[in-house]
Amino acid sequence: MPATAIPSGPLSAHPSALIGGRALRVLVAHNRYQLPGGEDAVFEAETALLRSAGCEVAKLETSNAGIDTARARISAAAAATYSIEGRGQMARAIARFQPDVVHVHNLFPRPGPAIFDACVAAGVPAIWTLHNFRLACAQATLFREGRSCQDCVGRPPFAAVIHGCYRGSRLGSASVAATIAFHRLAGTWRRKVSRFIVLTEFAQSIAIEAGVPAERIRVKPNFARDPGPVARERRGAVYVGRLSAEKGVDTLIEAWRSLGDIPLSVAGEGPERVGLEQLAPANVRFLGQLPREQVQAVVGQSQALILPSMCHDNFPLALAEAMAAGTPVVASRIAPLDRLVREGVDGALFAPGDPVDLARTVRRLFGEPTTLEALGRGARANWERAMEPEANLTQLLSIYREVCAGEG
């Protein structure tokens, strides 16, 4: 899919959305995934938030459409190391829109890190939100062979090639590793990106080990809008996310085999779906990929959101949506989930990969309705404190103004 840059005029002006008496102009770049997920949703939600504040916003969008064979994936990964086409797309978008700041979300494999050279050449500061761990990990998940893996963090990514971490291909992994190593050595992260936004302190620590200057990192969590009134009578639990090994959904399904009286809704798609459906007991229903509005409705009708991740899940959007709806979260005791969810305050934690512990935790909570209700109130309070849109907007605009003023 060709890149597009679509501008939008200002609406009502937030004081921090003005620069020199006019609306701040933001060019937002993102490469969409074939299967829409949290990063795509955050890109859309944050863009809408900026427009509602009065910023003038243009989108530079590319897509993974067509990268659907092993050969195409390897070719795309190789091209990502330095894409002349990607740099040209960014240069043309800057020339058309004349932004004050460029904000990048996903850039892999298109248009690639070469876009930052276009920003430098145009004298426009660039910000990059690190939604995953691609700067340190070819797989981007810090997960390999069923376990957490940090073998390439702070080191040349040779282990990724040995293990074929990128889609099981050593050749593809070599291409991704080359991109990581090339830009680390070329100083792209040190000199060409003005600020990096990370979602958690854990992600901040990984980024620093990957060569990102600590003084250029800002921690800003994901946010979720207020869903308004939610169901007064809630029932069962819900999982929202990709159906893949690193998400631990097999642990979830195994746990539910002993929870026959508690319904579970599974929202999402992924490579494990067929196998999971075959293993699932009758009280589990698979909803498939849902629009974000329907996801929020299902979460608001549930007594708990389950996040059984085996990997270091980097602030799932579903967590923020659950907190907004006053839905407690039951999550794996693994960073950063073990800090995003506070045991006994807004949710509960269990041993990752342990279906017995998960079933025990769910059984205990669902047997104590007053505890679940109290945790729901704690979840809502956590959203009001850290994940509601207005505070997020203020923090984001502060980062924009920082780079526009040439600070750092």
Q: Is residue 289, in this structure, part of any structural domain at all?
A: yes
Predicted local distance difference test score (pLDDT) of residue 47: 97
Residue (of 252, 317, 248, 318) closest to 281 by Cα position: 252
Q: Is residue 229, in this structure, part of any structural domain at all?
A: no
- CATH number of the domain at 326, please: 3.40.50.2000
Same-domain check for residues 87 and 217: yes
Same-domain check for residues 302 and 347: yes
Predicted local distance difference test score (pLDDT) of residue 11: 41
Same-domain check for residues 272 and 179: no
Q: Average pLDDT in the 390-405 region?
A: 95
Instruction: Count up the domains in the chain and report the number.
Output: 2
Global confidence as pTM: 0.93
Q: Average pLDDT in the 187-214 region?
A: 97
Q: Is residue 232, in this structure, part of any structural domain at all?
A: no
Q: Which domain holds residue 157?
A: 4-223+389-404
> What whole-number distance in Å separates Cα of residue 59 and Cα of residue 104?
10
Same-domain check for residues 164 and 22: yes
Same-domain check for residues 21 and 112: yes
- Residue-wise pLDDT for 286-334, tens only, equals 999 999 999 999 999 999 999 999 999 999 999 999 999 999 999 999 9
- Residue-wise pLDDT for 119-132, tens only, equals 999 999 999 999 99
Same-domain check for residues 271 and 218: no
Q: Is residue 60, in this structure, part of any structural domain at all?
A: yes
Same-domain check for residues 394 and 380: no
Q: Is residue 290, in this structure, part of any structural domain at all?
A: yes
- Residue-wise pLDDT for 167-192, tens only, equals 889 988 999 999 999 999 999 999 99
Q: Is residue 63, in this structure, part of any structural domain at all?
A: yes
Predicted local distance difference test score (pLDDT) of residue 78: 73
Higher pLDDT, 377 or 16: 377
Q: Is residue 230, in this structure, part of any structural domain at all?
A: no
Same-domain check for residues 381 and 393: no
Predicted local distance difference test score (pLDDT) of residue 231: 79
Same-domain check for residues 246 and 186: no
Predicted local distance difference test score (pLDDT) of residue 97: 98
